[in-house]
Structure 1
Amino acid sequence: MAEYEACILGLKMVVDMNVCELLVIGDSDLLIHQVQGEWAVKNPKIVPYVQYVKNLCKRFRKIEFRHTPRIQNELADALATIASMIKHTNTDYIDPLDIDLKEHPVHCSHVELEPDGLPWYFDIKRYLESGTYPEDATSGQKKLIHCMDLNFFLNGEVLYRRTPDLGLLRYVDAAEAVRLIEQIHVEVAVHT
Protein backbone atom coordinates (compact mmCIF):
# COMPACT_ATOMS: atom_id res chain seq x y z
CA MET A 1 0.00 0.00 0.00
CA ALA A 2 2.88 2.38 0.76
CA GLU A 3 4.23 1.91 -2.77
CA TYR A 4 0.82 2.78 -4.22
CA GLU A 5 0.47 5.80 -1.93
CA ALA A 6 3.88 7.08 -3.05
CA CYS A 7 2.92 6.54 -6.70
CA ILE A 8 -0.41 8.33 -6.22
CA LEU A 9 1.27 11.28 -4.52
CA GLY A 10 3.79 11.55 -7.36
CA LEU A 11 1.08 11.34 -10.03
CA LYS A 12 -0.98 14.04 -8.30
CA MET A 13 2.02 16.37 -8.16
CA VAL A 14 2.71 15.82 -11.85
CA VAL A 15 -0.97 16.43 -12.72
CA ASP A 16 -0.75 19.74 -10.81
CA MET A 17 2.27 20.65 -12.93
CA ASN A 18 0.14 20.18 -16.10
CA VAL A 19 2.38 17.45 -17.49
CA CYS A 20 0.76 15.76 -20.52
CA GLU A 21 3.20 12.90 -21.15
CA LEU A 22 4.85 10.92 -18.37
CA LEU A 23 7.26 8.03 -17.95
CA VAL A 24 6.87 6.42 -14.52
CA ILE A 25 9.91 4.38 -13.51
CA GLY A 26 9.46 2.17 -10.48
CA ASP A 27 11.23 -0.73 -8.83
CA SER A 28 8.05 -2.49 -7.69
CA ASP A 29 7.31 -5.31 -10.13
CA LEU A 30 3.93 -5.78 -8.49
CA LEU A 31 2.77 -2.15 -8.80
CA ILE A 32 4.02 -1.70 -12.37
CA HIS A 33 2.47 -4.93 -13.69
CA GLN A 34 -0.80 -4.52 -11.76
CA VAL A 35 -1.31 -0.97 -13.05
CA GLN A 36 -0.61 -2.14 -16.60
CA GLY A 37 -3.20 -4.91 -16.15
CA GLU A 38 -0.61 -7.64 -16.75
CA TRP A 39 -0.91 -9.13 -13.26
CA ALA A 40 -4.09 -9.80 -11.29
CA VAL A 41 -4.77 -7.92 -8.07
CA LYS A 42 -5.36 -10.60 -5.46
CA ASN A 43 -5.28 -8.49 -2.29
CA PRO A 44 -8.68 -6.73 -1.92
CA LYS A 45 -7.01 -3.90 0.04
CA ILE A 46 -4.96 -3.02 -3.04
CA VAL A 47 -7.91 -2.87 -5.49
CA PRO A 48 -8.90 0.74 -4.62
CA TYR A 49 -5.29 1.86 -5.00
CA VAL A 50 -4.97 0.28 -8.46
CA GLN A 51 -8.26 1.85 -9.53
CA TYR A 52 -7.20 5.26 -8.21
CA VAL A 53 -3.90 5.10 -10.11
CA LYS A 54 -5.74 4.08 -13.29
CA ASN A 55 -8.12 7.04 -12.88
CA LEU A 56 -5.17 9.40 -12.47
CA CYS A 57 -3.60 7.91 -15.61
CA LYS A 58 -6.62 9.07 -17.63
CA ARG A 59 -5.51 12.67 -16.99
CA PHE A 60 -2.44 12.23 -19.19
CA ARG A 61 -2.28 12.24 -22.96
CA LYS A 62 0.40 9.54 -22.74
CA ILE A 63 1.70 7.65 -19.71
CA GLU A 64 4.05 4.69 -19.58
CA PHE A 65 5.06 2.58 -16.60
CA ARG A 66 8.50 0.98 -16.73
CA HIS A 67 10.09 -1.36 -14.21
CA THR A 68 13.69 -0.86 -13.13
CA PRO A 69 15.46 -3.20 -10.70
CA ARG A 70 16.09 -1.71 -7.27
CA ILE A 71 19.83 -2.09 -7.82
CA GLN A 72 19.50 0.50 -10.61
CA ASN A 73 17.26 2.79 -8.58
CA GLU A 74 19.68 4.10 -5.94
CA LEU A 75 17.41 6.86 -4.59
CA ALA A 76 14.49 4.50 -3.92
CA ASP A 77 16.89 1.98 -2.42
CA ALA A 78 18.31 4.63 -0.08
CA LEU A 79 14.81 5.72 1.00
CA ALA A 80 13.80 2.11 1.62
CA THR A 81 16.94 1.56 3.69
CA ILE A 82 16.23 4.64 5.81
CA ALA A 83 12.60 3.57 6.28
CA SER A 84 13.73 0.11 7.42
CA MET A 85 15.83 1.70 10.19
CA ILE A 86 12.80 3.27 11.88
CA LYS A 87 11.84 1.41 15.05
CA HIS A 88 8.12 0.73 15.43
CA THR A 89 6.63 -0.11 18.82
CA ASN A 90 4.02 -2.45 17.34
CA THR A 91 5.76 -4.76 14.89
CA ASP A 92 2.57 -6.72 14.13
CA TYR A 93 0.89 -3.90 12.27
CA ILE A 94 1.92 -0.50 11.00
CA ASP A 95 -0.77 2.00 10.05
CA PRO A 96 -0.69 3.03 6.40
CA LEU A 97 0.34 6.57 5.61
CA ASP A 98 -2.41 9.15 5.75
CA ILE A 99 -1.63 11.80 3.18
CA ASP A 100 -3.68 14.96 3.37
CA LEU A 101 -3.46 17.06 0.25
CA LYS A 102 -4.70 20.59 0.56
CA GLU A 103 -6.98 21.88 -2.17
CA HIS A 104 -4.63 24.78 -2.95
CA PRO A 105 -1.47 24.72 -0.80
CA VAL A 106 0.33 28.03 -0.68
CA HIS A 107 3.57 29.07 0.97
CA CYS A 108 4.75 32.59 0.38
CA SER A 109 8.03 34.14 1.40
CA HIS A 110 8.88 37.62 0.19
CA VAL A 111 12.51 38.40 -0.47
CA GLU A 112 13.62 41.86 -1.53
CA LEU A 113 15.29 42.24 -4.90
CA GLU A 114 19.06 41.95 -5.00
CA PRO A 115 21.00 45.12 -5.81
CA ASP A 116 21.60 43.80 -9.35
CA GLY A 117 17.82 43.53 -9.93
CA LEU A 118 17.85 39.73 -10.20
CA PRO A 119 15.91 37.40 -7.87
CA TRP A 120 17.90 35.72 -5.10
CA TYR A 121 17.59 32.32 -6.80
CA PHE A 122 19.04 33.49 -10.14
CA ASP A 123 22.44 31.83 -9.56
CA ILE A 124 20.82 28.49 -8.63
CA LYS A 125 18.62 28.60 -11.72
CA ARG A 126 21.56 29.44 -13.97
CA TYR A 127 23.58 26.60 -12.42
CA LEU A 128 20.74 24.15 -13.12
CA GLU A 129 20.42 25.42 -16.70
CA SER A 130 24.07 25.53 -17.69
CA GLY A 131 26.22 24.26 -14.82
CA THR A 132 27.98 27.60 -14.51
CA TYR A 133 28.69 29.64 -11.40
CA PRO A 134 28.77 33.44 -11.16
CA GLU A 135 32.13 34.79 -12.35
CA ASP A 136 33.01 36.33 -8.98
CA ALA A 137 31.79 33.38 -6.84
CA THR A 138 34.09 32.19 -4.07
CA SER A 139 34.68 28.48 -3.52
CA GLY A 140 32.30 28.64 -0.54
CA GLN A 141 29.56 30.23 -2.64
CA LYS A 142 30.08 27.61 -5.37
CA LYS A 143 29.79 24.84 -2.79
CA LEU A 144 26.57 26.38 -1.42
CA ILE A 145 25.04 26.70 -4.89
CA HIS A 146 26.00 23.10 -5.69
CA CYS A 147 24.49 21.84 -2.40
CA MET A 148 21.30 23.86 -2.89
CA ASP A 149 20.78 22.52 -6.40
CA LEU A 150 20.11 19.07 -4.95
CA ASN A 151 16.71 20.29 -3.69
CA PHE A 152 15.84 22.41 -6.73
CA PHE A 153 14.82 21.47 -10.25
CA LEU A 154 13.69 23.22 -13.39
CA ASN A 155 10.55 22.45 -15.34
CA GLY A 156 11.02 24.55 -18.46
CA GLU A 157 11.67 28.04 -17.13
CA VAL A 158 9.97 27.42 -13.76
CA LEU A 159 12.14 26.74 -10.70
CA TYR A 160 10.82 24.40 -7.99
CA ARG A 161 12.20 23.26 -4.64
CA ARG A 162 11.37 19.91 -3.11
CA THR A 163 10.20 20.01 0.51
CA PRO A 164 10.80 17.25 3.07
CA ASP A 165 7.14 16.19 2.79
CA LEU A 166 7.53 15.70 -0.99
CA GLY A 167 5.75 18.93 -1.81
CA LEU A 168 6.96 21.41 -4.36
CA LEU A 169 7.51 25.12 -3.89
CA ARG A 170 7.46 27.25 -7.03
CA TYR A 171 9.82 30.23 -7.12
CA VAL A 172 8.73 33.38 -8.90
CA ASP A 173 10.32 36.78 -9.43
CA ALA A 174 8.83 39.99 -8.04
CA ALA A 175 6.75 40.75 -11.16
CA GLU A 176 5.23 37.25 -11.22
CA ALA A 177 4.54 37.46 -7.46
CA VAL A 178 2.61 40.71 -7.92
CA ARG A 179 0.62 39.18 -10.79
CA LEU A 180 -0.25 36.07 -8.73
CA ILE A 181 -1.26 38.11 -5.68
CA GLU A 182 -3.53 40.31 -7.82
CA GLN A 183 -5.07 37.21 -9.41
CA ILE A 184 -5.71 35.65 -5.99
CA HIS A 185 -7.35 38.84 -4.71
CA VAL A 186 -9.61 39.01 -7.76
CA GLU A 187 -10.65 35.35 -7.30
CA VAL A 188 -11.27 35.85 -3.56
CA ALA A 189 -13.36 38.95 -4.24
CA VAL A 190 -15.44 37.08 -6.81
CA HIS A 191 -16.13 34.19 -4.44
CA THR A 192 -17.07 36.29 -1.41
Structure 2
Amino acid sequence: MAIDMNVYKLLVIGDSDLLIHWVRGEWAVKNPKIIPYVQYMQNLCKMFRKIEFRHTPRIHNELADALATIALMIKHPDTDYIDLLDIELKEHPVHCSYVESEPDSLPWYFDIKRYLESVTYPEDATSNNKKSIHRMALNFFLNTQVLYRRTPDLGLLRCVDAAEAVRLIEQIHT
Protein backbone atom coordinates (compact mmCIF):
# COMPACT_ATOMS: atom_id res chain seq x y z
CA MET A 1 0.00 0.00 0.00
CA ALA A 2 2.83 2.41 0.84
CA ILE A 3 4.42 1.67 -2.53
CA ASP A 4 1.10 2.32 -4.33
CA MET A 5 0.82 5.64 -2.50
CA ASN A 6 4.34 6.61 -3.69
CA VAL A 7 5.70 6.77 -0.17
CA TYR A 8 9.47 7.07 -0.30
CA LYS A 9 10.28 7.31 3.42
CA LEU A 10 8.73 4.78 5.79
CA LEU A 11 8.93 4.09 9.50
CA VAL A 12 7.82 0.58 10.44
CA ILE A 13 7.11 0.04 14.14
CA GLY A 14 6.65 -3.53 15.29
CA ASP A 15 6.28 -5.28 18.61
CA SER A 16 8.08 -8.45 17.50
CA ASP A 17 11.74 -7.98 18.33
CA LEU A 18 12.56 -11.15 16.41
CA LEU A 19 10.90 -9.97 13.17
CA ILE A 20 12.47 -6.52 13.36
CA HIS A 21 15.97 -8.02 13.76
CA TRP A 22 15.33 -10.50 10.94
CA VAL A 23 14.25 -7.81 8.48
CA ARG A 24 17.16 -5.57 9.44
CA GLY A 25 19.46 -8.51 8.72
CA GLU A 26 20.86 -8.40 12.25
CA TRP A 27 19.78 -11.91 13.14
CA ALA A 28 19.95 -15.06 11.03
CA VAL A 29 16.73 -16.75 10.01
CA LYS A 30 17.00 -20.44 10.81
CA ASN A 31 13.45 -21.57 10.12
CA PRO A 32 13.30 -22.48 6.39
CA LYS A 33 9.59 -21.65 6.26
CA ILE A 34 10.29 -18.03 7.26
CA ILE A 35 13.24 -17.35 4.90
CA PRO A 36 11.07 -16.54 1.82
CA TYR A 37 9.02 -14.02 3.83
CA VAL A 38 12.09 -12.24 5.16
CA GLN A 39 13.63 -12.17 1.66
CA TYR A 40 10.38 -10.76 0.26
CA MET A 41 10.42 -8.03 2.94
CA GLN A 42 14.04 -7.20 2.17
CA ASN A 43 13.19 -6.86 -1.54
CA LEU A 44 10.28 -4.57 -0.69
CA CYS A 45 12.64 -2.43 1.39
CA LYS A 46 14.66 -1.68 -1.75
CA MET A 47 11.65 0.14 -3.18
CA PHE A 48 11.96 2.96 -0.61
CA ARG A 49 14.57 5.71 -0.41
CA LYS A 50 14.62 5.34 3.34
CA ILE A 51 12.98 2.73 5.54
CA GLU A 52 13.49 2.32 9.25
CA PHE A 53 12.36 -0.58 11.40
CA ARG A 54 11.84 0.20 15.04
CA HIS A 55 10.93 -2.20 17.84
CA THR A 56 8.46 -1.12 20.48
CA PRO A 57 7.51 -3.45 23.33
CA ARG A 58 3.87 -4.55 23.38
CA ILE A 59 3.35 -2.64 26.60
CA HIS A 60 4.17 0.62 24.76
CA ASN A 61 2.09 -0.21 21.70
CA GLU A 62 -1.19 1.54 22.58
CA LEU A 63 -1.39 3.22 19.17
CA ALA A 64 -1.25 -0.09 17.30
CA ASP A 65 -3.88 -1.57 19.61
CA ALA A 66 -6.14 1.45 19.07
CA LEU A 67 -5.72 1.29 15.28
CA ALA A 68 -6.42 -2.44 15.26
CA THR A 69 -9.58 -1.85 17.27
CA ILE A 70 -10.70 0.86 14.85
CA ALA A 71 -9.98 -1.41 11.89
CA LEU A 72 -12.19 -4.13 13.36
CA MET A 73 -15.03 -1.71 14.05
CA ILE A 74 -15.19 -0.03 10.63
CA LYS A 75 -16.42 -1.98 7.63
CA HIS A 76 -16.09 -0.12 4.34
CA PRO A 77 -17.82 -1.56 1.25
CA ASP A 78 -14.80 -0.78 -0.94
CA THR A 79 -11.93 -2.80 0.55
CA ASP A 80 -9.40 -0.88 -1.58
CA TYR A 81 -10.46 2.43 -0.06
CA ILE A 82 -8.75 3.72 3.06
CA ASP A 83 -9.75 6.89 4.88
CA LEU A 84 -6.77 8.93 6.02
CA LEU A 85 -6.36 9.20 9.77
CA ASP A 86 -5.11 12.40 11.33
CA ILE A 87 -3.32 11.38 14.50
CA GLU A 88 -2.39 14.10 16.94
CA LEU A 89 0.19 13.26 19.58
CA LYS A 90 -0.08 15.14 22.84
CA GLU A 91 3.00 16.40 24.65
CA HIS A 92 1.99 14.84 27.96
CA PRO A 93 0.04 11.59 28.26
CA VAL A 94 -3.14 11.74 30.30
CA HIS A 95 -4.87 8.72 31.79
CA CYS A 96 -8.32 8.72 33.27
CA SER A 97 -10.75 6.14 34.56
CA TYR A 98 -14.27 7.49 35.02
CA VAL A 99 -16.49 6.45 37.89
CA GLU A 100 -20.10 7.60 37.55
CA SER A 101 -21.11 7.98 41.18
CA GLU A 102 -20.19 7.19 44.74
CA PRO A 103 -23.55 6.19 46.22
CA ASP A 104 -22.28 5.46 49.73
CA SER A 105 -20.26 8.73 49.89
CA LEU A 106 -17.04 6.70 50.05
CA PRO A 107 -14.46 7.04 47.26
CA TRP A 108 -14.45 4.28 44.65
CA TYR A 109 -11.08 3.07 45.90
CA PHE A 110 -12.02 2.93 49.62
CA ASP A 111 -11.95 -0.88 49.97
CA ILE A 112 -8.65 -1.20 48.12
CA LYS A 113 -7.02 1.53 50.22
CA ARG A 114 -8.30 0.02 53.48
CA TYR A 115 -7.00 -3.40 52.39
CA LEU A 116 -3.54 -1.96 51.68
CA GLU A 117 -3.50 -0.09 55.00
CA SER A 118 -4.68 -2.86 57.29
CA VAL A 119 -5.47 -6.00 55.24
CA THR A 120 -9.13 -5.78 56.23
CA TYR A 121 -12.21 -6.35 54.09
CA PRO A 122 -15.72 -4.87 54.30
CA GLU A 123 -17.86 -6.62 56.90
CA ASP A 124 -20.33 -7.98 54.35
CA ALA A 125 -17.65 -9.14 51.86
CA THR A 126 -18.11 -12.61 50.44
CA SER A 127 -15.22 -14.91 49.66
CA ASN A 128 -15.35 -13.79 46.01
CA ASN A 129 -15.40 -10.11 47.04
CA LYS A 130 -12.32 -10.68 49.19
CA LYS A 131 -10.49 -12.38 46.32
CA SER A 132 -11.42 -9.51 44.00
CA ILE A 133 -10.21 -6.86 46.43
CA HIS A 134 -6.96 -8.75 47.00
CA ARG A 135 -6.42 -9.17 43.25
CA MET A 136 -7.18 -5.49 42.51
CA ALA A 137 -4.93 -4.33 45.33
CA LEU A 138 -1.95 -5.89 43.56
CA ASN A 139 -2.22 -3.09 40.96
CA PHE A 140 -2.19 -0.30 43.54
CA PHE A 141 0.48 1.39 45.66
CA LEU A 142 -0.16 3.34 48.87
CA ASN A 143 2.24 6.15 49.78
CA THR A 144 1.26 7.54 53.18
CA GLN A 145 -2.41 8.49 52.51
CA VAL A 146 -2.19 8.81 48.71
CA LEU A 147 -3.26 5.83 46.61
CA TYR A 148 -1.73 5.22 43.18
CA ARG A 149 -2.64 2.71 40.48
CA ARG A 150 0.28 1.04 38.72
CA THR A 151 0.19 1.14 34.90
CA PRO A 152 1.60 -1.72 32.78
CA ASP A 153 4.75 0.35 32.11
CA LEU A 154 5.19 0.79 35.90
CA GLY A 155 3.97 4.39 35.94
CA LEU A 156 1.76 5.53 38.79
CA LEU A 157 -1.67 7.16 38.43
CA ARG A 158 -2.98 9.08 41.43
CA CYS A 159 -6.42 7.94 42.58
CA VAL A 160 -8.87 10.74 43.36
CA ASP A 161 -12.45 10.83 44.63
CA ALA A 162 -15.29 12.61 42.81
CA ALA A 163 -14.85 15.93 44.65
CA GLU A 164 -11.13 16.08 44.00
CA ALA A 165 -11.69 15.12 40.34
CA VAL A 166 -14.08 18.05 39.90
CA ARG A 167 -11.60 20.40 41.60
CA LEU A 168 -8.74 19.20 39.37
CA ILE A 169 -10.81 19.53 36.19
CA GLU A 170 -11.83 23.09 37.16
CA GLN A 171 -8.21 23.92 37.94
CA ILE A 172 -7.01 22.55 34.59
CA HIS A 173 -9.68 24.37 32.55
CA THR A 174 -9.27 27.79 34.15
TM-score (norm 1): 0.45
TM-score (norm 2): 0.49
Rg larger for: 2
